[in-house]
Amino acid sequence: MHKTIEELQSELRAQDEALAAAKEQLAAFGDIQFQMPTELLEQLDDACIAQASPTIQLGAVRA
């Protein structure tokens, strides 16, 4: 069953709120360098790249 446009827009707002909360948390960490969990970066790439615009390309050459 399809969700309606309104339901999807509501989902989008919820996602944006989650991102904003993450950004606030990150800002609280200041300038500390962190060792990035590589598998999560790759997971993020996979989630975004699979159907991404052709102008955005893979952000890493896998070693």
| Residues within the interface to another protein (CB under 8 A) | 2-3, 5, 8-9, 11-12, 15, 18-19, 21-23, 25-27, 29-38, 40-45, 47-53, 55-63
> Residues 48, 50, 53, 58: is their CA dihedral positive or negative?
positive
Q: What minimum distance in Å lies between the beta carbon of 50 and another protein?
A: 7
Distance linking the first and last C-alpha atoms of the chain: 42
| Angle, alpha carbons 30-24-12 (nearest 5°) | 145
Q: What minimum distance in Å lies between the beta carbon of 10 and another protein?
A: 11
Q: What minimum distance in Å lies between the beta carbon of 13 and another protein?
A: 12
